[in-house]
Amino acid sequence: MSALSSCATFDRNDVAAQVGDLDLTAEAVEALAATGTQPATGDQLREQLTKWIRVTVLEAAVGMESATPTTSTGLDNRLSEVIVAVAGDNAATAYASGVSGSPVICLRAITTDSVDDANSVLATVQAGRPFADAAREFSTDTVIAADGGIVRGQDGGECIDPAAVNPAVVAALEGVPVGQAIVADLDTFAAVLMLRPFDELLPESRSLIASASVPQDQLDAIVDAADIYVDPRYGRWDPDVGSVVILTS
């Protein structure tokens, strides 16, 4: 069979891929890969097929129910959730190790002008005021206040690489349990700080943490052991690279 070019498109017809007794139709994968009014390219279709195969195999491995995906974003969320499931307690345990062991820092903060002000705010939080509500009312940083105290990275994510966090903040949080609010004197200002609970994080954040505690070769081994079929019109499953690749003659 002649090679399929990286920009080839395909007609809708029957099953595009199958994992065990679960299949994805050509119509479904085209919907996943669609971008506006333009037909999906071969590369885009293979990317979505690869993602669906990996999600479906991993969901079966941990006993999660699979369903036909309707959007690429929904499939991304399922991938995040299943990686967390594969990691099990390891992800939450790694995160619970705090700033000394977690691969990311996921922080809420309420900035104040002084330590005294911070202690006053901390008292309201310890008395039962939700941290997000206190942040909206008291934080001197309006961006953090508007976001309920969530401190975001430059990419807008809710978790930050420890290397990108103010060293004084990291030092203040050393040994502090997840979910416990503290006051930190940060030289020119003060803040109430809290490492956010693992269960509060978005799926993609929990998946990022889980990925650090699950070796890639462990995930690959699960996928490699599965019974995978790909319609030759799209390419073939290559276990060496763990993805659908162009079918060559």
List pLDDT tens digits, range 12-51: 458 999 999 999 999 999 999 988 778 889 999 999 999 9
- What pTM value is reported for the model? 0.69
15: burial class by Cβ within 10 Å (0-12, 13-18, 19+)?
middle
pLDDT grade for 200, boundaries at 50, 70 and 90 = very high
How many Å apart are CA 37 and CA 48, to the nearest integer? 18
For the stretch 30-37, contacts whose Cβ atoms lie closer than 8 Å and that sit 24 or more positions apart, written own/partner, are: 31/70, 31/71, 32/69, 32/71, 32/72, 32/75, 33/72
Answer with the residue of higher pLDDT: 249 or 203.
203
Confidence of residue 105 (pLDDT cuts 50, 70, 90): very high
Q: What is the mean pLDDT of residues 203-229?
A: 88
pLDDT tens profile 136-174: 999 999 999 999 999 999 999 999 999 999 999 999 999
